[in-house]
Amino acid sequence: MIVGSSYSQIAMAPFSRLLLAALLLVAVIGEADAGGGQARYDRVFSFGDSLTDTGNSAILPATAGGPFTNAPYGQTYFKRPGGRASDDGRLDSIVELLKLPYLASRSADIHFRRRSLTDTAPSGQTRLKSPSDRASDGRLVIDFIVESLGLPQPTPYLAGSTANDFQQGVNFAVGGATALDMAFLETKGIKSFVPISLSNQTTWFNGVLKLLASKPNEQRKMMASSLFYIGEIGFNDYSFALMNNDTVGLAESLVPDIIDVIRSALIDVIDAGARRIVVAGMIPMGCEPELLALLPSGASGYYDPESGCIARFNRLAQLHNTALNRMLSKLRRAYRRTSIYYGDLYTPVTAIVSSPEEYGFGSEPLAACCGGGGGQYNFDFAFFCGTPLSTTCADPSKSVSWDGIHYTEAANKFVADTMLNGL
């Protein structure tokens, strides 16, 4: 379980239920605004990797294309192929292990070409021509958050170019993104393949901010009416490290650096005028079918007896979440006019993996719904979801994992719901 909070403690936190609901169906840690009242948002700005990306990786040259653009991605909600989700075929094992999309180019080209994905609605609002581009059979946690606030979906950063494109919010998340820069990872002997880090995303944000408003007071007013969502970030950093080193020691050594980068991103948006921020924690890495299939072991204690997940990888996630909560507590004291909330991903996912039928899921929570290869995890890159040899389970809503790397819409909805309601 995540360190720093329990759902019973969350229920006792000093928030009115009205304010808590307005603050987006999120389990929160921290203090409410001193003035109280109901929050009102005009837009959402989001950051992160594939668990939050709603279209950028489908545009980025290094990640565009591949099986994630094919059916059955997006089938549950969008009724058409979605965006990116993983590699195409048998690429290097380090790439196959991670939450990486198909690598159309192996070069670390950070000069992107933009692609027009929008048209103009009668109201003058912009909308995506393709409603999916998500690593799932349907919606992500960020989608449920936005829907709960009654707001339009944020425009993927690479799909826009004008102030009008970004007026209703921006999603900066990119599938395969790391928290740490490529150059830093290389100093640790770690090779990454997607040239986007959290600092790149905050640079994009600062550019959009100047595009939306030229005067500092106008910028701060706009940011004060916006909700900021920092989605899970760091999974890819840790996974690269695990593939470079057979022990978790190298991955664990990255925790302080990753937390520091997240802290810098938070200070950046706070300085820009952000008043309410949700920061998601790390998922239970040891429960990912891809990791379970690719890194098996017969060692005693390797698997958690209750969940069947890889225990040492989940301990790494807990270490990350403990450090993250400690950092958030310090920021709350330093920036008392800004409400900073912790979004717990670890607890609800481990709950449905450990007791799936109790929460309406099927009896095989560690098996991928879409893909192939059979066995306990149904994960093999030769049968990866969206490729010709892949198959899809009869009812994705009973599965936790969609493609062995990303969650189903049902799991994403469960996480979003339990962020408010508790288990």
263 and 80 in contact (C-beta within 8 Å)? Answer: no
* Cis before 67? omega within 30: no
For the stretch 2-5, contacts whose Cβ atoms lie closer than 8 Å and that sit 24 or more positions apart, written own/partner, are 2/281, 2/318, 2/321, 2/325, 2/344, 2/346, 2/347, 3/318, 3/321, 3/322, 3/325, 4/29, 4/321, 4/322, 4/325, 4/326, 4/342, 5/29, 5/325, 5/342, 5/344
Please tell me what DSSP assigns to residue 157. Answer: G
CA distance 224 to 276: 8
- Report residue 220: phi and psi, to 5°: -65, -35
Q: Where are the alpha helices (DSSP H) in 213-310?
A: 216-224, 235-244, 249-253, 255-272, 289-294
Pairing relationship of beta strands 43-47 and 126-128 according to DSSP bridges: unpaired
Contacts 24+ apart (CB under 8 A), 38-41: 39/227, 39/276, 40/225, 41/149, 41/151, 41/225, 41/226, 41/227, 41/276
R_g (Cα) of the chain, nearest Å: 20
Please state the φ and ψ torsions of residue 243, each to the nearest 5 degrees: -75, -25
Q: How many CB atoms lie within 10 A of CB 253?
A: 12
**Which residues are registered as beta bridge partners of 197?**
178
Catalytic amino acids? Answer: 50, 403, 406
Residue 119 buriedness (CB in 10 A; 0-12 / 13-18 / 19+): exposed
Other CB atoms within 10 A of residue 78 CB: 19
Encoded tokens for 148: 């709960």
End-to-end CA distance of the chain: give it in Å, rounded.
12
